[in-house]
Chains A and B, each alone.
Chain A
Amino acid sequence: MTTMSWAAHPVGDAEVIQLSLDESERFSAIFDTYFGEIHRYVAQRLGADHAEDIVAETFLTAFRKRARYDPSLASVRAWLYGIATNLIGKHRRFEVRTLRALGRYGVDTDIPGHEEQVAAQVSAESLRPSLAAAMAGLNQRDRDVLLLVALAGLSHEEIATALDIPYGTVGSRLNRARKKLRATLGGTNPILESEEAGRG
């Protein structure tokens, strides 16, 4: 079993990509490792209905382009996020609809065992519609950077390589996105206001 053998002999992601050039089945190890988080990211941005196609396309694109993957530039993880982000960019219509739905209904919070999060959810509830609208109103490229930080937890450097943009551009897009969000939410979001005040 291919999967088992990889568990027994751990090899770095980048090496797996190298090996997969000759033995394409090696690529399944990459799929196994990253399917979960890439799907989560795509489903968050485009909604569960559209995520399946985009995630499949992400891994197919990665497979096709694996010869051009350069481990000295990006981790496999950041590389996959970059591919997924570019594909998401072609579906702005779905992303905007997803944000509209999030603004209206929020996510399904009816999960047992998360009672301690109720307070946070309730406080977020009141500003959800305006936050969703503000996210939808962002420039696509700014939103990409913001969400790669917020949802994927990538560093500025990883984002720069994933999206193939200069390091400084990551910071400027992120600042612009955050400034717009604060401008939109400033009057209604006590959390953001107090943080601003705290920074002086």
Chain B
Amino acid sequence: MDELKTIRELYGEPQADPILKARVRKRLEAELLRRRRRLSWTVAVAGLAVAAATAIAVPSVIGRAGPPNQVTEIAGAPYQTTAISGRSVLLAAATTAESGSAATGAYWRVRKLYRQTYPERLGRGENRYRVVESRLTEQWVARDGRVWSGSRALGARPMSGADEEAWRRDGSPTEWSSEGDVLSTSPDKGMLRAVTGKVPFSMAGHQMTFEQLRGLPADPAALKDWVTEAVRDVPGGSTDGVVADALSGLLWSKPSPPDVRAAAYRALADLPNVRYLGKATDEQGRAGAAFSFTLQAAPPVRRTLIIDPDSSQVLSSTVTGRPGVTGDQVEVVLDAGWTDDKPAVPDLP
């Protein structure tokens, strides 16, 4: 039976994450609560639940925000000018957000374009190249909390000019098969599936329903306190980066009420770790203002958001430096809002 031993050695012993069990339990509990009102797990695991509630939605990205390089820059002279103009941009967005329309429509829908570099080089022999995959995703949430997820691959393209040359030398293939994945230069038919077992929204590890989003503080300081409290027990310590990320999440992926969105913009304007990078255009060519903050200090992981102060909408997010990911992860928000359309496979852009 020695090959069984060899297999066990290959797979090894996974690292145990002490709060994982509490986090999974919390998810189950939320799902079971949703299915049947009566459930006393909550009582039995009250202690655990506290730990779970503070778990973060994307733990691998978020760590202690300490700050090596950025701090030096922030402490430097340019800080004053950029901080002031950046702050005014965020406050302007807050004013716009405040007059946003209230919830109308049967579904909350977010339509996004994802761009990510495929982790393996493709091609044969000397002709190796990287490709970038694009994907359209749509999340639909009905008012009763049911969730649908739509997805459609838009096709892969060589990453750079040099990659494109290597691709041509490789015979310009339009399909690749790589380690169980099939990639194509053409869009696929797309899919739509009902998502079960998940609460529609989460923030700093707190699973959130429509009602809970509506109940968030509309005062910037109170909102910041609420978020800071929520992330207090995040492994590695509560961090400015986690707070900034949770606050910004209220602006673009969730149906936050107008006054909560305005409060989130105002709270972000007062965070010292949110840096204004100046005017920018997103990948769709839409003009906006770019802000960034550190999610993890070492190795450095940053999120850069481009917002449109005139509409208060977040146009795009780019995560740079995420461990295990080649290149940047780009999400472009094509549409976020209420609709009476019915969940369907995403249309091609």
Binding site for B on A (CB under 8 A): 1-3, 24-25, 27-28, 31, 35-36, 39-40, 43-45, 48-49, 51-52, 55-57, 59-60, 63, 92-93, 95-97, 100, 102, 106-109, 120-121, 124, 127-128, 131-132, 135-136, 146-147, 149-151, 178, 181-182, 185, 189, 191-192, 195
Known: A2-B41, A56-B27, A93-B181. Contact between A124 and B10, CB under 8 A? yes
Q: In the complex, A42 Cα to B17 Cα: how many Å?
A: 14
| A-side contacts of B45, CB under 8 Å | 3, 28
Please judge, given known A-B contacts A24-B36, A25-B40, A25-B41, whether A131 and B25 are in contact too, CB under 8 Å: no
Q: At the interface, is chain A mostly helix, strand, loop or mixed?
A: helix
Can you list 17 A-B contacts (CB < 8 A)? A1-B43, A3-B45, A24-B32, A24-B36, A28-B44, A35-B24, A36-B21, A39-B14, A39-B21, A52-B23, A63-B28, A96-B180, A124-B9, A127-B6, A136-B180, A191-B3, A192-B2
B197 interface residue per 8 A CB criterion = yes
Residue of chain B at shortest CB distance from A58: B24
Min CB–CB distance B245 → chain A (angstroms): 18
Q: Chain A's nearest CB lies how many Å from the CB of B59?
A: 9
Q: Which 5 A-B pairs have the closest CB atoms?
A: A107-B12, A2-B44, A43-B14, A96-B180, A44-B11
Contacts A3-B44, A97-B179, A135-B7; is A106 near B12 (CB within 8 Å)?
Answer: yes
Inter-chain CA distance A189–B3, complex, in Å, is 10
Interfacial chain A residues near B17, Cβ < 8 Å = 48
Q: Which residues of B contact A131 (CB under 8 A)?
A: 6-7, 10
A47 to B50, CA, bound (A): 26
B residues engaging A (CB < 8 A)?
Answer: 2-4, 6-15, 17, 20-21, 23-25, 27-28, 31-32, 36, 38-41, 43-45, 60, 119, 179-181, 196-197, 324
Contact B44 A52 (CB under 8 A): no
Measured CB to CB, the nearest residue on chain B to A107 is B12
Distance from B327 Cβ to chain A, minimum over Cβ atoms (Å):
17
Residues of B within 8 A of A100 (CB): 179
Q: Which residues of B contact A150 (CB under 8 A)?
A: 4, 7-8, 11
Structural contact, B9 and A132, CB atoms closer than 8 A: no
A44 near B4: Cβ-Cβ < 8 Å: no
- Structural contact, B197 and A178, CB atoms closer than 8 A: no
**Other 14 A-B pairs with CB < 8 A, given A56-B197, A60-B31, A192-B2:** A2-B44, A24-B38, A25-B40, A40-B13, A49-B60, A56-B28, A59-B24, A60-B196, A106-B10, A135-B7, A135-B10, A149-B4, A181-B3, A191-B2
CB distance from A10 to the nearest CB of B (A): 17
Residue from the list A28, A35, A106, A108 in contact with B15, Cβ < 8 A: A108
A136 to chain B, nearest CB (A): 7
Question: How far apart are the CA atoms of A96 and B38 in the complex, in Å?
Answer: 41
Tell me whether A44 and B179 are in contact (CB under 8 A). no
List B contacts of A182 (CB < 8 A): 3
**Residues in chain B near residue A149, CB distance under 8 A:** 4
B6 touches A189 (CB 8 A): yes
In-complex Cβ contact of A107 among B13, B21, B23, B180 (8 A): B13
With a cutoff of 8 Å between Cβ atoms, the chain A residues found around residue B119 in the complex are 97
Q: How far is the CB of A200 from chain B (nearest CB, A)?
A: 16
Question: In the complex, what distance in Å separates the CA atom of A151 from the CA atom of B10?
Answer: 11
